[in-house]
């Protein structure tokens, strides 16, 4: 049975998708069978793995969640061996409203993924920047949640709300849910500010929540790779940011 990890933060632009794509790619390179689930109508994980989201048609995670399409039928191969993608596009915008009327609406994603769980070692879910129904569904389906946090004042402040939501889900909907760890992303080591924020996060949360030793440095290479629709390894195999994601992968593998 695979381990399911949701990558979530309601704050936008903190590196959720970049982390999802590169962790997925990195695990796949290490012989793990991976499914990356794009749970964001922006479809950034799908385009980040080379798909033109406007051409996906009616075979996306939206149809799985709302129309009962089997996950396997919507799953796509990627350029990377052992890495499969359950894609998304703008259709998914309607999902939150459509799911409102469905029975047991917090458990829909869990049920969609159940039949494919034994095919993969890890299923990663790239969440959208909100704490709405889709993200709650991801947290209910998941065994653990990885929290990318940008090392800047406001994103760190939003962490409180996120942790509250995770606790609520754990209490009411998914007792198994663990926090995989807080991951500091887009860290500019040249500034004292970033260093201060990093130590503040460790001080505030370090005793109650795991924090990854690996931190992801700010790097134009990360942004270039996502724009090109490839993983960081396809762009630059041995630069700081790809090495940081390799280290993170080792931590996730334990
Ligand atoms: P959203 O909330 O919109 O889904 P996100 O949390 O998934 O955003 P990303 O899309 O991964 O965040 O990253 C936001 C932007 O920052 C992207 O343009 C991405 O290429 C860039 N980025 C991500 N990581 C880094 C990094 N380490 N250094 C520099 N830029 C980065
Ligand atoms: Mg994203």
pLDDT at 78: 97
pLDDT at 16: 98
Q: Which phi and psi angles does 158 have, rounded to 5°? A: -70, -10
pLDDT at 155: 72
Q: Which residues contact 17 (CB under 8 A, 6 or more apart)?
A: 40, 44, 45, 48, 126, 226
16 CB within 6 A, ligand 1: yes
pLDDT at 154: 73
pLDDT at 220: 94
Q: Select from 222, 224, 241 the residue to mutate for testing ligand 1; criterion: most ligand atoms less than 8 Å from CB.
A: 222
Taking a C-beta distance cutoff of 8 angstroms, is the pair 185, 21 a contact?
A: no
135 CB within 6 A, ligand 1: no
pLDDT at 37: 98
Cβ atoms within 10 Å, residue 64 = 25
What residues are paired with 127 via a beta bridge?
39
| Nearest alpha carbon to residue 7 among 233, 200, 185, 164 | 185
Residues of the chain with pLDDT under 70: none
pTM of the model: 0.97
Taking a C-beta distance cutoff of 8 angstroms, is the pair 64, 74 a contact?
A: yes
15 CB within 6 A, ligand 1: yes
pLDDT at 25: 96
pLDDT at 152: 82
Neighbours of ion ligand 2 (CB under 5 A): 16-17, 44
| Nearest alpha carbon to residue 10 among 216, 126, 177, 158 | 158
Q: Name the helix (H) or strand (E) containing 7.
A: strand 3-7
């Amino acid at each position: 049975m695979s381990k399911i990890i949701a990558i979530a933060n309601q704050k936008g632009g903190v590196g959720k998708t970049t982390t999802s794509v590169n962790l997925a790619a990195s695990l796949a390179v290490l012989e793990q069978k991976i499914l990356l689930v794009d749970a964001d109508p922006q479809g950034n994980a799908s385009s980040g793995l080379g798909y033109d989201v406007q051409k996906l048609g009616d075979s996306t995670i939206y149809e799985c969640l709302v129309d009962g399409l089997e996950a396997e039928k919507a799953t796509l191969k990627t350029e990377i061996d052992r890495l499969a993608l359950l894609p998304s596009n703008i259709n998914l915008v309607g999902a939150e409203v459509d799911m409102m009327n469905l029975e047991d609406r917090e458990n829909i994603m869990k049920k969609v993924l159940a039949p494919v769980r034994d095919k993969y070692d890890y299923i990663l879910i790239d969440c959208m920047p909100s704490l709405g129904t889709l993200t709650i569904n991801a947290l209910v389906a998941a065994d653990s949640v990885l929290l990318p946090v940008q090392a800047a004042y406001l994103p760190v402040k939003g962490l409180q709300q996120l942790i509250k939501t995770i606790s609520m889900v754990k209490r009411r909907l998914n007792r198994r849910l663990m926090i995989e760890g807080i991951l500091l992303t887009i860290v500019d080591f040249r500034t004292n500010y970033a260093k201060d924020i990093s130590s503040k996060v460790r001080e505030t949360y370090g005793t109650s929540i795991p924090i990854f030793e690996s931190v992801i440095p700010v790097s134009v290479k990360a942004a270039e790779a996502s724009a090109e629709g490839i993983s960081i390894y396809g762009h630059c195999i041995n630069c700081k940011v790809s090495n940081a994601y390799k280290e993170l992968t080792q931590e996730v593998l334990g």
